[in-house]
Amino acid sequence: MFEDFILPDIGEGIVECELIEWLVNEGELVVEDQPVADVQTDKALVQIPAKHAGRISKLYVHQGELAKVHAPLFQMEIESTASFEPGHPVPSPATSSPGHWSARQSDLAPTELGGAKVLATPAVRRIAREQEVDIRQVVGTGPKGRILKQDMVAFVEGAAVPVAVSAEATVKVDSTAVNPVERIPMQGMRALMAKKMLHSVRTIPHFTYAEEIDVSALNLLRRSLNEGLAEGQPRLTLMALFMKSLSLALGQYPLLNSHMNEAGDELAQYADHNIGMAVDSPMGLLVPNIKAVNHLSLLEVAAEVKRLTEAGRAGRLAPADLSGGTITISNIGAIGGTVTTPIINAPEVAIVGIGRIQRLPRPDAQDQLVLREIIVVSWSGDHRVIDGGTIARFNNSWKAWLETPERMLLALR
């Protein structure tokens, strides 16, 4: 039986996606839930799994082309149910009859060799067997070190290991110019980011407000709490504390936890604090968000920060992680810099940039200079919704929670 795989809805409002890489070839066997393709949506890299076990009979979309939601992505030839029932042996090549196919388990899953997982497609593993190559010796240039067909071919031919080429851009070099120039098309996540940022600056009247915050006590508390954590528990980061304290401030100033509609004539104010955090990934800037921070414990927020950071850097964020945010934190201090003018992540109405921690002299209660750990926070607000006084009072509330973290712990639920 032949069946077309129809590309389903893979995110809110997404109607098409770019096919980054086929993980199988026509004629290859797959098992149920085996990854078949990586596609790049407007928001994330998504892996498409097979719905059934069977043979891939046709690939409708070429690598680099756009696949349409609700349109066929590939076709499968599905074997009789008995051949793929749990516990039912799959016939081997020597014993299978015409019209039947077979596969060894090593063809259908990442191989465990010497305790290390080798990520490779079935076609690549087949080449390795045919050429009697130890696949562990091949350097993979695909996502998460996946060994691609070109890596295996280069290894077999004795060529240099190919350099991983980003699926987001194909570089064109204008060699006829006096001063050669590389022309790099804006594609994938970078194109989306450029489009979204342009929309934000064109439609939202930004204003910026900056303030110093002393995080000496906060950092001391974080270190103390981490010392008492059991093995396996997520470590508390400053980002987790920033989020929980920001949520407390949003409880006092709910206006900042809002969305402005496209027409600019209606404001949606949300009860849940879905706080986004900017992640610097190989695909560009991603802004996943932690849902309902106001209902999570500090450790739950810390676990989500860790999960989203790792998934973002690996390009494996789910569309749900990237949608529904209500306010955003951009921690530029992780890289460097002190003051920024962040661009609002529309349709949100506010974003804050956090600079790096600086040890600076500040007067104590007796007017004696002491070294303190200082950050500068830079707010950008939508002036249609927020005025300077509102964002200053909101920031003062947030600052108070951060500078007296023992009060924050008392207020947590």
- State yes or no: pLDDT of 75 exceeds 70: yes
Helix axes 238-252 and 298-313, enclosed angle (nearest 10): 120
Q: What pLDDT is attached to residue 208?
A: 95
- Which domains, ranges and CATH numbers included, belong to the chain? 2-109 (2.40.50.100), 189-411 (3.30.559.10)
Dihedral sign from CA coordinates of 394, 395, 398, 400: negative
Q: Is the pLDDT at 108 greater than 50, yes or no?
A: no
d(CA 32, CA 133): 28
More confident residue, 125 or 87: 125
* Pick from 269, 176, 224, 179: nearest CA to 405: 224
pTM above 0.85, yes or no: no
Task: From 264, 254, 206, select the one nearest 388 (Cα to Cα).
Answer: 206
Give the 3-state secondary structure of residue 34.
coil
Contact, 267 vs 260, CB < 8 A? yes
pLDDT in tens, 384-403: 999 999 999 999 999 999 99
Determine if the peptide bond prior to 347 is cis (ω within 30°). Answer: yes
Q: Please compute the mean of the pLDDT values over residues 48-56 and round it to a whole number.
A: 90
Residues marked as catalytic: 383, 387
End-to-end CA distance of the chain: give it in Å, rounded: 55
Beta strands in 86-159 (DSSP E): 111-113, 116-118
Residue-level pLDDT at 42: 63
d(C-alpha 348, C-alpha 200), whole Å: 10
Q: Using alpha carbons, list the distances in angstroms from residue 269 to 255, 275, 329.
A: 7, 14, 18
